[in-house]
Copies of this chain bind each other. A is one copy, B any other.
Amino acid sequence: MMTAPLPEFDLERYLPYRFTVIAGKLSAELAKAYKVRFGISMPEWRVLVNVGYTEDLSVRDIERRVSLEKSKVSRAVSKLEAKGYLVKQTDSDDRRLLKLTLTDEGTRLLRALIPIAQTLQDELIAKLADAAPAMNAALDILMEPEE
């Protein structure tokens, strides 16, 4: 007995799949460069950027801003602290919170990392050419939180 035919479906054009593949490719390039040359993982990089540009962030703040699970943030922060790139202080107003601050060494590291990220971004934009603005508009829509 034959089973009924499958409905049409093209994985190659399927959006969640496409995003996963592209995200993997894009992050892999950066991840490799950072890991090899600086021993830094993607979660650590994201934490660094956040702490670098905003003062006295907490783990929870970062979790919210960067869609990074708090356990991931916590571990990334601990590693960065162990490497001397940032400092944890407990907030005196609310002692559940941490105040995270880059050390000078952390700032130096971040200043080395950013041009690499920026170059990759520039290459992508160049590759996309005309399509870039429309794509960014689309990404804006997809980034906004569920209703």
Contact = CB atoms under 8 A, between A and B. Distances in A.
Chain A interface category by residue count: 35 or more
A67 B114 contact: no
Give how many copies assemble into the complex: 2
Interface of A: 3-4, 6-7, 9, 11, 13-27, 29-30, 42, 46, 49-50, 52-53, 66-67, 104, 107-108, 110-111, 114-115, 117-118, 120-121, 124-125, 127-128, 131-132, 134-139, 141-143
Given A13-B136, A21-B67, 18 more contacts: A3-B108, A9-B49, A9-B117, A11-B46, A15-B26, A15-B125, A16-B121, A17-B46, A20-B26, A22-B23, A23-B24, A25-B142, A26-B142, A127-B142, A128-B138, A134-B135, A135-B135, A138-B138
